[in-house]
Amino acid sequence: MAKSYQTSILWAAAALVSLGPSVAPLSAQNRPDLFFGPADHAQIEARSQSLPWLRKARAEILRKADAFLVTPTDPYPLVSNQNALGTAGRALQNRLGTLGFATYLTGDPRYAAKGREILLSVVRQTQPRNKEHWQSHLQQGDAAQAFAIGYDWLYGTLSDAERAEVRAEMEEIGTILFEVNTAWGKDAPGVSSSNHNSVHFGGLGLVALALGDKLEWVEMATRRTRAFFQTFADPTGYATEGVHYVGYGLGGAVPFSMALKRHGGPDLLAEADEVLALAGDQMVWKLLPFDGLMLPLNDNFDRPAEIAALVGTLRHNRGDQLWATLESLEKSGSTDELGSYFGISYTAPFLFVWGDKPVRPVDPVAAGLGLGHRFESGRVFLRDTWTGEDAAHVSFKSGYDKHRGHDHQDENSVTFYAKGEGFLIDPQYWLERSDAHTTLKIDGAEQIKGGDGRIVEYREDERGAFVRGQAEEAYDFDAAFVGQADRKLYFVRTPRPYILFRDDARTENSGTKPFESRYATYPGNRVEQSGDAVIIHGERTGSKAMLAVYSGTEQLRVSEDDLSEVTLIRRRTEFRYDEYLRRIAARFEAESPELISLVVPFEGEVPPSVEVRAGSARYSFEVKVTFADGNSDTLWVGEDNIMLR
């Protein structure tokens, strides 16, 4: 859907600022046509009717457009029951974008009139520099994108005087985004990889293209957006900010990149195609077996997938990634988000534009996916099957994060879902500290923000999978000289899924030290003491699992902690731990512990029995797990390996 323009007077200037061939300017009398125009309508209309999921997306866009017809404008609510002030710009994008695109699809004058009313109300009622309107550079970037979309898609409804009003607002907010001397404009990998970078400069770029005479703005936006694409994900496509923020980050970068190419600039999406094709793999592997939710590692809630992250999926015909997104939306009851969602940048119309042809969802079995996957940045995800809500899902995280802002202190942490329950979980967005994760406290030392771990081995075998992580550099070295933090996990897939993991931890000082092994489970689960072990009763289906912990051959007592007084202050808000998790812990003293933890789901009233005895090799153990029906497994647990006999 490329577009050419008659004007080309800035060719030389464009070359000087490394934009490529040219970015043609627009006059105040031209509709920007940032993404598509009248000539593209037939193709977009056909795509929107081509497959069931695309027809659903089209229907949701029009349904949302109908709902937005009653949006008040005297005054327009920057805050509503659907959004806070921090997402006011995104809400505006969704309202203007939905009404504008519905006008494009149907020609219904009601949508056009309401979109115009909202656009002019916000332009007249807000000031770009007023923090009570747009809180920070993020909200200004969101608002800039909203104004550019509204100006483009509602251009025909505006008089010359009204267009001048909107252009003046874009000029002012663009000037702020261009002139501010922010860290997000610097060439550091951490800030370049962040959604703050792409949202700020993606918004700047769109208003620059809409105004048509801001080549310096376009150049800066191009440079910073290119830097985002080069750094936002690891080489295997994992964006370390997580599911929600990869959607938000791409929602800032991708629309500008589309408009830039259409206006004769470089094709930033083509430059980033290799990593964009893999970015949706995170959706596949984080999809939990039930309720359609994504595993909330890092600063994420357990919410569904983000459609803004589908750009690579649709450009590269990745039906498995599309399956995961649609499965997530359907099972979570969130298919309305195909039309819009106020928590993310507005990209719904691009579902009919990205890629050369409509993409059909393909389930993982048909796509030939295995049952485990390792991402280069230090995440391993494992399943026992792709079907059924009883499926088991395991994650092991030990790696690096591109940007510390959304980095949790969770190296060597583990999650485990089975039998329709979450037995070991991640506590979601706010509780970033290691004492809220399934981690080890060593001689009083917790993990620090910005500390890294690493996956040193991942192996699949006939009945399960093995993962090993090392995280000594994640700990506060001033609190304790941690010389070893080595966790090995074995996931038994068949015939009964369960996990066993061994921790070897040492400080660089001799002598006995205190250790604390923590296990996080859902706050709605019930924890029952069973001798020295505990039984975790799931809140969802009533399924249960035994948690037993051993120091060598000696069983340790684990019990639930009282979290009623434990809080964390983050971003000037206090969060209670007991609203996000229950924590089970074993506390003991040792010089060099060989800690073995088992989480074993079971049926009936009798939990499995566990016997741990010394193995024939140095520092090794044999662990026998016997179930109520008499069947048993024996695992060899070594210092650097675990195998199922």
pLDDT digits (tens, 9 = 90+) for 362-375: 999 999 999 999 99
Answer yes or no: is pLDDT of 4 > 80.
no
Token pair listed for 431: 């509780």
Answer yes or no: is pLDDT of 19 > 80.
no
Q: In the CATH scheme, what is the code of domain 372-607?
A: 2.70.98.70
Distance CA 301, CA 429 (A): 5
Query: pLDDT tens-digit profile of 302-311?
Result: 899 999 999 9
What pLDDT does 403 receive? 87
Beta carbons of 51 and 358 less than 8 angstroms apart: yes
Distance CA 92, CA 89 (A): 5
Distance CA 358, CA 351 (A): 9
Answer yes or no: is pLDDT of 27 > 60.
no
Residues 6+ apart with CB under 8 A from 401: 240, 241, 298, 377, 407, 452
Per-residue confidence band for 14, with pLDDT thresholds at 50, 70 and 90: very low
Per-residue confidence band for 588, with pLDDT thresholds at 50, 70 and 90: very high
Per-residue confidence band for 299, with pLDDT thresholds at 50, 70 and 90: confident
Token pair listed for 247: 């959607």
Beta carbons of 549 and 595 less than 8 angstroms apart: yes
Q: Is there a common fold for 40-352 and 372-607?
A: no
Residues 6+ apart with CB under 8 A from 160: none
In the numeric block, the tokens 């649709």 are attached to 314
Answer yes or no: is pLDDT of 384 > 70.
yes
Beta carbons of 603 and 541 less than 8 angstroms apart: no
Query: pLDDT tens-digit profile of 244-275?
Result: 999 999 999 999 999 999 999 999 999 999 99
Mean pLDDT within 281-291: 97
Beta carbons of 51 and 40 less than 8 angstroms apart: no
Token pair listed for 271: 């430059």
Beta carbons of 270 and 315 less than 8 angstroms apart: no
Answer yes or no: is pLDDT of 381 > 90.
yes
Mean pLDDT within 523-535: 98
pTM above 0.85, yes or no: yes
Query: With respect to CATH, is domain 40-352 assigned 1.50.10.100?
Result: yes
Mapping DSSP to helix (H, G, I), strand (E, B) and coil, where does residue 547 land? strand
Distance CA 66, CA 102 (A): 9
Domain boundary assignment for the chain? 40-352, 372-607
Number of residues in the chain:
645
Q: Which of 180-184, 254-258, 518-522, 632-636 has the least mean pLDDT?
A: 180-184
Token pair listed for 317: 């015909």
What pLDDT does 404 receive? 83
What pLDDT does 15 receive? 35
Distance CA 255, CA 203 (A): 9
Distance CA 295, CA 279 (A): 16
Percent of the chain past pLDDT 90, that is, above it, reads 92
DSSP string, 477-525: TTT--EEEEEEEEEEE-SSS-EEEEEEEEEESS-S-EEEEEEEEE-TTS
Query: pLDDT tens-digit profile of 174-199?
Result: 999 999 999 999 999 999 999 999 99
Mapping DSSP to helix (H, G, I), strand (E, B) and coil, where does residue 574 land? strand
Distance CA 439, CA 266 (A): 46
Distance CA 536, CA 521 (A): 8
The strands making up 440-442's β-sheet, listed across from edge to edge, are: 440-442, 513-521, 582-590, 559-560
Answer yes or no: is pLDDT of 7 > 60.
no
Answer yes or no: is pLDDT of 12 > 80.
no
Angle at which helix 195-211 crosses helix 160-179, to 10 degrees, equals: 140
Distance CA 40, CA 541 (A): 50
Per-residue confidence band for 20, with pLDDT thresholds at 50, 70 and 90: very low
Q: Which of 5-19, 337-351, 515-529, 630-644 has the least mean pLDDT?
A: 5-19
What average pLDDT does the structure give for the chain? 94
Per-residue confidence band for 555, with pLDDT thresholds at 50, 70 and 90: very high
Distance CA 57, CA 36 (A): 18
Query: pLDDT tens-digit profile of 417-447?
Result: 999 999 999 999 999 999 999 999 999 999 9
C-alpha torsion 313→316→320→322, nearest 10: 30
Per-residue confidence band for 609, with pLDDT thresholds at 50, 70 and 90: very high
Beta carbons of 583 and 518 less than 8 angstroms apart: yes
What pLDDT does 10 receive? 33
Query: pLDDT tens-digit profile of 309-341?
Result: 999 999 999 999 999 999 999 999 999 999 999
Token pair listed for 596: 């073995």
C-alpha torsion 61→62→68→69, nearest 10: 160
Token pair listed for 470: 């090392």
Where do the DSSP E strands lie in 508-631?
A: 513-521, 526-530, 533-537, 544-551, 554-556, 559-560, 567-570, 573-576, 582-590, 594-602, 609-614, 621-626
Percent of the chain past pLDDT 70, that is, above it, reads 96
Mean pLDDT within 123-145: 97
Query: pLDDT tens-digit profile of 76-112?
Result: 999 999 999 999 999 999 999 999 999 999 999 999 9
Answer yes or no: is pLDDT of 157 > 80.
yes
Per-residue confidence band for 22, with pLDDT thresholds at 50, 70 and 90: very low
